Amino acid sequence: MTPTLLTAQDGGVLTLTFNRPEVLNALNDQVVKELSAALRQAERDATVRCLVLTGAGRAFSAGQDLGAFVAREEAPGSSSIREHLQTGYNQIVTRMRGLEKPIIAGINGVAAGVGLSLALAADMRIAADNASFTTGFSKIGLVPDGGMSYMLPLLIGIGRAAELAFTSDRIDAAEAHRLGLVNRVVPADELGAATQALAQQLAAMPTRALGLTKRAFNRSVLADLDTWLDYEAHLQEIAGQTADHKEGVRAFIEKRPATFRGE
């Protein structure tokens, strides 16, 4: 099976690259499994002192693979959305925040849905100047998940978070920088080098101190994260049963605008 997540280590820097460029690195069960395993390995491996998460091709990640999601929902005995989140994305977010090593998201293109949530779970974000961002969930009748409903208001304030979450408008890298969604924006052809340079800088720092700093930040502003992830999954379970959700997903698959009825 072709790896859907490429891994490469250079000194203390481990780079993980989403590798489904033909679907804008949409996330299916295999990517989730491989990312989870890579994070577990990065926890155990003392030679890894900084992690970079990025995407192959023109996207960082378009979020949940909606084709795979529909197929899963239609399969007899499939798990609920709540379980899907709890056993997949939520564990990844918990692992990313729990990893006591810096994680940098190198945002090389569009980041949408839970793809954006994973970028937000990183410690820092560097975006290519041609990257773009959309929460995406409201377009398919869902609630921001993968910790986004916690991280987004924290990073950019509740009013701006509401605007992005309600409208799912796509914003560019300059706007993302202005909002505080990303730390830095660099020319697209310099993203790889800029991300690796920062990662090497951090990998040469006292890793234990950085890890403890991350632990402190987790405790100071993300203390409720795990409870929150469960609550978000509960809200998503409710949203997932609405007619508007089903219409939104159908419209995406059929490549047509959705007609929402508010129910």
| List of residues contacting ligand LHQ (CB under 6 A) | 23-24, 26, 62-67, 69, 81, 84, 110, 112-114, 134, 136-137, 139-140, 142, 145, 170, 236, 252
Nearest approach, Cβ of residue 113 and ligand LHQ (Å)? 3
> For the chain, how are helix, strand and coil distributed in percent, rounded to 5?
55, 15, 30
Nearest approach, Cβ of residue 30 and ligand LHQ (Å)? 14
Compare residues 68 and 205 and give the one whose CB is closer to ligand LHQ. Answer: 68
For residue 90, how many other CB atoms are within 10 A of its CB?
23
**Nearest to 103, CA basis, from 125, 84, 85:** 125
Compare residues 228 and 252 and give the one whose CB is closer to ligand LHQ. Answer: 252
**Nearest to 106, CA basis, from 42, 50, 160:** 50
Compare residues 92 and 203 and give the one whose CB is closer to ligand LHQ. Answer: 92
**How far apart (Å, rounded) are the C-alpha atoms in residues 120 and 153?**
11
Nearest approach, Cβ of residue 41 and ligand LHQ (Å)? 24
Please, which residues have CB within 8 angstroms of residue 243's CB and are 6 or more apart in sequence? Answer: 261, 263
Nearest approach, Cβ of residue 178 and ligand LHQ (Å)? 20
Compare residues 137 and 150 and give the one whose CB is closer to ligand LHQ. Answer: 137
**How far apart (Å, rounded) are the C-alpha atoms in residues 54 and 240?**
29
**Nearest to 29, CA basis, from 58, 223, 75:** 75
Compare residues 197 and 253 and give the one whose CB is closer to ligand LHQ. Answer: 253
Torsion, CA 219, CA 224, CA 227, CA 233, rounded to 10: -110
Cβ pair 52, 196 in contact under 8 A: yes
Nearest approach, Cβ of residue 143 and ligand LHQ (Å)? 8
Give the three-class secondary structure for 238. helix
Compare residues 23 and 194 and give the one whose CB is closer to ligand LHQ. Answer: 23
**How far apart (Å, rounded) are the C-alpha atoms in residues 162 and 151?**
12
Nearest approach, Cβ of residue 231 and ligand LHQ (Å)? 15
Compare residues 20 and 49 and give the one whose CB is closer to ligand LHQ. Answer: 20
Query: Which amino acid is it at 146?
Result: G
Nearest approach, Cβ of residue 132 and ligand LHQ (Å)? 7
